[in-house]
Structure 1
Amino acid sequence: MRGFCYFYLLILTQVSSSTRSVIGFFGHNVTLACRYDTSHHGVLSFCWGRGELPTFKCSDTIVSWEDGPVPSITSPRYRLLGSTADGDVSLTILDAQRSDAGLYGCRVEIPGWFNDHKVNTRLVMEQEIVTTFVTNNEEVVVDSTLDLFEATSTAVKSKDAHGVGNIGRATAVFLSAIILILVLVFRRRFLPKRPLEHPQTSPAENVYEVL
């Protein structure tokens, strides 16, 4: 019976818990999402910690808030940029470094037994990738953390310009062929036709025809 109770409690502790992975780039800001609905219980206490969430509170707490005017934050690189009044307690790490990689836990303390909203996030830090596009013999270098749409648009515009040039040349050739055909038709229809020339016959041939 005791074992069943422990198993039941273990299941309850996993309620409203999730795990996700986030990729960050060295030297850039990275945000670990954590949100809850404030329409039922209002603004609630929450905390962020390094490592997997324990049964209660957070392990190695780095950000916490409990009915105070401002949250307690252990480092100026940790920011809460969302609207906490609307339930957005996402953690933003400024100028993320290799040492920031690892598991983070967000806990929102919802009233009741084992009702806490928990989010475990594994932050993976990577070196930014620089992608080079070659368009019209010109290199466009794009930072992987930037929007690739601008570089793609540049390549598409260059390709469209070449396409317009090809279409213009093809149109010129087509019009030239049409004009040539019209000239030939005009000459055949409207220019006066030459009278047929009868071949001249010699007197000897005429005598032969009379005989």
Structure 2
Amino acid sequence: MILVETFVFGMIFLLTKGVRSEETEVVGEAGSQVVLPCICEAAQCDPAAITWSKDNKGTVWRKESSGLQYWGSSWFNRKNSRVQCPHFKFAKGDYSLEINDLKEDDAGLYTCKVEIKGYSTNKQIMLRIIKASVSPSTPMTGDDVSVQCSVTPWPQNAVVYWSLNNKPFAPKTRISSGRAVDIQASDKFVGTWTCSVHSQTTSNVWSASVELSVTGIIQPPKQDTKLYAALGSSFTMPCVFSPSLSPTAVLVEKLDSGFQIFNNRSASSSSWDKSIVIQEVVPENEGRYRCGGTIRGRRLSQTMQLIVAKIVKSKKKGTTMLSCQLSDPSEVSEYEWVHVSYDINGTESVGPVQIGQTVPVKEDFGEWTCRFLGSNGLLGNVTTQVHLMAGLSGENSSGVSSNSGTVIGLSFLLVILLLVLAQMYKNHRRRRRILQYPALETIVHTISNEREEREKDRVKK
């Protein structure tokens, strides 16, 4: 009975797949995880004995039909194992091998052997490891650098293409048999390098990436960087080296005048940050500057241009105009104006954004900010305070008119008062002259009485 069962099972196994070897190709990037497939396609796969082995390296992983598992000595340590077969997939006949933290020497031909009741099938998987690398790993500006691409084992008739920051580097250019790009380290080569290996035999494409960073001057980030500062504001002139460096003989100088900035304090006390703070920007600060320092006997320098921005106020037909002016507006593509005002409670109110280099001021008070933008976004801004110009002008005018009327009225009253005082003074002087002659006063008084008597008699008649 047992012999018949074995014969029937063997015939089913042979009719479904038979005893044969299959080869599959898998590519993984160094440092990543890869899965080598091994799926049992027999009608009945459990219980099965599985053995994973690598050419010339012996057993990688093995599971007996009883369920016991074993790892090869070179693939296992007490902390963790770089290889494993997820046991929860065994019931589904999935005996795929997971390899973590891929290394270049993991590349090669692997065999998955599945044994079911004395019958076996072999699946062969060619594992290739692709890797992109930079040598030296942390170059300094000006160093010779080699960006390399390797595939282990290297496929026949393969072609390599490169891209830098997702843009083709020498588009559709075939790299020499060295499979490397030789460059001189600079800021224009910083970023993500990706090599794509095209296999002409299998039509497969495999890719790997590596980051290239260059030590040296990191601020300003590139030559002739344009920097923007508002007139009258404080500004930091950058001169920052990579933290791993300790530059000597650091100098920040203005190129068009040839003097070193001594009268401004340093922005930091660190050995790599030698930025300079300009306490108050003036028009004379505009121009080109250079940050330089000596590292390992080599002189590094980076240039930059300081552009000064200001707001100019003017009057046009009784309207206040604000104009945003820059010493070099070549990179500016658009100007935006934002008006901010505050009520008596200090509540902030932001007005609508106005577009244009020059705008009329309808609200003659508050804070106006000009933001200037380039192709890559905001470049800088400058702010001015606008006071109650129109209102104060009207109040001053009415005040002058009112004061003038008051002065004229007071002057008129003063003249009348002076005339009255003059007349009173004259009368007083005349009385004093009369009192000096009593006889004359008696005669005058007698004559006055007689005149009054004659007047009374005339009235009676």
Higher RCO, 1 vs 2 (CA within 8 Å, ≥6 residues apart): 1
Q: When you count helix as a share of all residues, which structure comes out higher? A: 1
Q: When you count strand as a share of all residues, which structure comes out higher? A: 2
State the TM-score, normalizing by the size of structure 1: 0.49
State the TM-score, normalizing by the size of structure 2: 0.24
